[in-house]
Amino acid sequence: MKKKAVVVVDMQVDFVTGSLGTAAAQAIVPLMVKYLRDRQATGEYDFYCTHDTHGQNYMETQEGRRLPVPHTILGTEGWELIPELKEFEPTMTNFNKPTFGSYEMMVAMREAGYEEVEFVGVCTGICDISNAVMTKAALPEARIVIYENLCACVNETTHNTALDAMRTLQMDIETYVA
């Protein structure tokens, strides 16, 4: 049996309904819950989850100066996984990341030797693409799947640009059908 993983990227309150939330992020939630239940039911997947994690000094960081909207501050409600996904949290290996991609998650995934990794979450043009590219570098022969209808970005243009870039990097862009 293939070693498979699912990565849920930054489905935190601040990115869905909070300070950087979007209608697009909110719209993917119901289907994402169905997708995660379906994947969990197979027993074939390991589950990973990234948490964008900033400190109280966020505004003093490079990111804070370029995106001056405090978000996902550790210890706040905005940092938490959205309520709709809490049921899955006990089965996920969680990684806090102070930037767009998680180096620690890549090391863990490489050590596990996954043959297939599926990505869902936000934001397609920032953290989804960063973690997918890092995964491709860590696991060059693995099949990397991005579910376009289970990812969201700040707007449709940046979402599609990121999907095109990942397609160019030999990742499979698919539509999840329940």
pLDDT digits (tens, 9 = 90+) for 103-151: 999 999 999 999 999 999 999 999 999 999 999 999 999 999 999 999 9
Q: CA 47, 125, 96: angle at the middle one, nearest 5?
A: 40
Taking the C-alpha atoms of residue 124 and residue 159, their distance in angstroms, rounded to an integer, is 5
Rounded average pLDDT over 92-99: 96
Neighbours of 85 (CB within 10 A): 20
pLDDT digits (tens, 9 = 90+) for 42-63: 999 999 999 999 999 999 999 9
Taking the C-alpha atoms of residue 79 and residue 18, their distance in angstroms, rounded to an integer, is 10
